[in-house]
Structure 1
Amino acid sequence: MPADMRNRRIDLIRGVAILLVLFHHFNIAYRLSDTSLAAVFGPELVQAVARNGNYGVTMFFVVSGYLITSNALRRWGQLGRIDAWAFYGLRIARIVPCLLLLLTIVNVLALYGVAIFQNHVATGEPVPLWHVNLASLTFTMNLLIARVGWVNYPLGVLWSLSVEEVFYLTFPLLCLVLRRESLLCLFWATIIAVGPLYRLTHQGDEAGFLYAYFASFDGIAMGCAAAVLSRRFAPAGMTTWFTQTAVVALMTFLYLWWPIAQSNVLGVTAMALGTAALLWPAQRSTADDARRFNRVGAALAWCGKNSYELYLFHLIPLAVLKTGFPRATVLGDEKLVLLAAFMLFSFLLAAGIARYYAEPLNRALRQRLLQPRRTQSTIG
């Protein structure tokens, strides 16, 4: 999306979400409890921030549902008039180039014998690399993880892409079948109700209460519903500074107070609902909203703008660090140096991929995939 059309509020939310994910994954690789960061803020607070990074993914799901629905409404006016093939073309142009690049990097390094990029036996069942590639390309990585565990370190992030891609595949079909926004909202309400029930019945099974389709679809459904309802209902209280600050405070309290392993049943629902509330005023954001951003807000918005590339590729620099600096050999504030290196390397890698690879291919593919349909529409 052109810079002047981007919504800074949405980028800000995504920026916060991706930083939570990055910090979570780094802390898994290098526990920060013995660093000066823990000495200053307390090990409990550091652990509280790090342990719930999966809530960042919940926020991504809500934003994804919101953006897909609001963009469809902007392009086609009504969801029942969505052009399914154009929709798929837009999604292919954005998603597939980075996915193929990630698979290429991981496969090449695995074939060259770099151990951390190779598959490892998680549950006593060897899994060939082609099987992981197939799961990545067929949006079933979450199912593979549920069956055999975290079989490939840098490709583990694709569990959430599997959830989103199934949503992308079904969204236009659902719109064309149900057509009316009232029926779509009723369907999304059903999915929202199913989410906590599904998580409740899969307690003790992390792959079930965190990574399964129906453990995650309720967040996406909330984003979809928020995109539709916020166009029709704009209660003044939803957009005030006080209300939005209260929502952030409650989300922060939930995030820090309970581990996601204990709070996921309703915690995911609450975090998703809070994200949807923060998105409610997004369609009415103005250019003045962007000018209110300070440098911190602008930096977070940059992270949000590049969040897809950051999410997909950040485990590559972390894998490189883990290979060169094994956890047992890194002590104290040496970990903070690695944290800074990890963040810098991830930002540079994501920025380079976005600018020189993903964005040019996105534009080229959109023109190639959509131009014939535009021409046909004009002739018709």
Structure 2
Amino acid sequence: MKPVDRSRRNPGIDLLRGLSIVLVVIHHTAIRLPLHKSLLADWLPSRLLDGLQYDGFEAVFLFFVISGFLITSNPLARRGRLASIDVRAFYRRGAAPIVPCLLALVAGLSALALARAPHYTMEQPKQTLTGTVMSALGLYLNVYQSNTGWLPAGWGVLWSLSIEEVFYLAFPLVCLLLGRTRLLVPALVVLAMSIPVVRASIHHDEIWAEENTLQGMAAIATGVLAALLVRRWSAPRPSTARWTLALGVVGLLAVFFAGSELWQ
């Protein structure tokens, strides 16, 4: 097993992660303080403000892609191939930074709900504190929210964690099952390419259109494929790298500021 040099970071990944964080924070801030009613409206075009205010959702999917890239790159660096992934070590490393924080958050939100704190109490008829806690810990909060209505904001943001962790649970098992065959990459390609079909088929359901599990897993699968491609294509020519970077930038700008036109 090859040791992993944790001092080496990918500045491109760090940049994309930082961009995603900024867009998500702006999105949630703009829910309470709309950008169109701020001083920015006097200086920035409406289309740019729309992208900044509403595209935190797309930024979450950028997070999914980054997650898929990282959870694939790390086992490849340690083991050389996904078919040799250490399942126990994978789960241990994945759970260590997430489970304690998740338990603390659920405990805090539950205490606020029991205290009937404003904006922290379930308001939809089908929602209960027990059901919400179970869905958060059982990693199906996105399904629960779709079936019962919007949850208080502190709970609702956990929808993305549910999708991501379900993928994490399945990923090493799929690698062991398909890693030694030629089926892994085609399966990932089919999953990644399913996004347009999924979006077109569920546009009538506002919550599920944003938080459905298959769509999120498709984004993570895209990141997995990117990591596998980088593994085989480790030293592209400078001109190829520049064109790839330009294409990626154009793609991100199109998704963030012309997403509605892309999906029509």
Q: What's the TM-score, normalizing by structure 1?
A: 0.64
Q: 1:63 aligns with which of 51, 63, 66?
A: 66
Aligned-residue offset at 1:48: 2.6
Aligned to 2:131: 131
Distance 1:264 1:156, change over 3 A: farther
Q: Which amino acid aligns with 1:50?
A: Q
Aligned to 1:341: none
Is the deviation greater in 245-254 or in 75-84? 245-254
Q: Which amino acid aligns with 1:244?
A: L
Distance 1:264 1:137, change over 3 A: farther
Q: Distance in 2 between matches of 1:181 and 1:61?
A: 25
Q: Distance in 1 between matches of 2:185 and 2:216?
A: 17
Pairing 1:113–2:82 present: no
Aligned-residue offset at 1:181: 6.7
Aligned to 1:80: 83
Distance 1:40 1:250, change over 3 A: same
1:149-168 mapped onto 2 (5 Å cutoff): 149-168=149-168
1:310-329 mapped onto 2 (5 Å cutoff): none
Is the deviation greater in 96-105 or in 246-255? 246-255
* Kept in 1: contact 2:87–2:172 (CA 8 A): yes
Distance 1:159 1:243, change over 3 A: same
1:285-296 mapped onto 2 (5 Å cutoff): none
Distance 1:214 1:66, change over 3 A: same
* Kept in 2: contact 1:139–1:166 (CA 8 A): yes
Q: Which amino acid aligns with 1:31?
A: P
Q: Secondary structure at the match of 2:152?
A: coil
Q: Secondary structure at the match of 1:203?
A: coil
1:355-370 mapped onto 2 (5 Å cutoff): none
Pairing 1:148–2:148 present: yes
Q: Distance in 2 between matches of 1:44 and 1:212?
A: 27
Is the deviation greater in 249-258 or in 14-23? 249-258
* Kept in 2: contact 1:163–1:213 (CA 8 A): yes
Q: Distance in 2 between matches of 1:39 and 1:245?
A: 30
Distance 1:179 1:117, change over 3 A: same
* Kept in 2: contact 1:118–1:152 (CA 8 A): yes
Q: Distance in 2 between matches of 1:68 and 1:204?
A: 33
Aligned-residue offset at 1:138: 0.6
Aligned-residue offset at 1:247: 2.3
Aligned-residue offset at 1:173: 0.5
Q: 1:94 aligns with which of 80, 93, 97?
A: 97
Q: Which amino acid aligns with 2:224?
A: C
Q: Distance in 2 between matches of 1:192 and 1:232?
A: 19
Superposed CA offset, 1:244-294 (max 9, x none): 1342133213311244xx6457xxxxxxxxxxxxxxxxxxxxxxxxxxxxx
Distance 1:195 1:245, change over 3 A: closer
| Bigger Rg over Cα | 1
Of Structure 1 and Structure 2, which has the larger fraction of its residues in helix? 1
Aligned to 2:8: 5
Aligned to 2:241: 239
Aligned to 2:251: 250
Is the deviation greater in 157-166 or in 47-56? 47-56
RMSD: 2.0
* Kept in 2: contact 1:199–1:208 (CA 8 A): no
Aligned to 2:192: 192
Q: Distance in 1 between matches of 2:20 and 2:126?
A: 33
Distance 1:258 1:187, change over 3 A: closer
Distance 1:126 1:146, change over 3 A: closer
Aligned-residue offset at 1:214: 0.9
Aligned to 2:27: 24
- Higher relative contact order, chain-length normalized (CA < 8 Å, sep 6+): 1
Aligned to 1:325: none
Pairing 1:47–2:74 present: no
* Kept in 2: contact 1:208–1:215 (CA 8 A): no
Q: What's the TM-score, normalizing by structure 2?
A: 0.90
Superposed CA offset, 1:36-89 (max 9, x none): 111111344212321121110111111111100110111222211111111111
Q: Distance in 1 between matches of 2:10 and 2:51?
A: 30
Q: Distance in 2 between matches of 1:238 and 1:130?
A: 53
Q: Which amino acid aligns with 1:204?
A: H
* Kept in 1: contact 2:164–2:216 (CA 8 A): no
Q: Distance in 2 between matches of 1:227 and 1:29?
A: 37
